[in-house]
Amino acid sequence: REDGQPLTLSTTLNRAVMVWWRGWGIGVPLVSFVVRIIAFGKLVSEGKTTWDRDLQLRVIHQPVGVVRALIAIFLLLFLFGASMGTLTEQALRHS
């Protein structure tokens, strides 16, 4: 929050719903693409997303460190490998 206090559960849930609606267009493919462009434009021009502005929230972040980046890359590669293994197993069963 802009006053520095931690978020309440209701504010957190409200923000999640607003991100889902305004930032992801509830997952509808074309709508999602458009709302993400709009949200990014607002973030770049105003320095805030509309949901953080409306909820009077201040987002604090730091640059991603090397260790964190390596962990993220490892996890992505692991998940990709696991999904490819599952797809290969399914293809072999059906052939």
């490892």: which residue's tokens? 74
Answering whether pTM is above 0.75, one says: no
Do residues 87 and 59 make contact, with C-beta atoms less than 8 angstroms apart? no
pLDDT tens string 17-50: 999 999 999 999 999 999 999 999 999 999 899 9
Domain positions in the chain are 1-61, 62-95
Distance CA 86, CA 77 (A): 14
Distance CA 81, CA 75 (A): 10
* Predicted local distance difference test score (pLDDT) of residue 41: 94
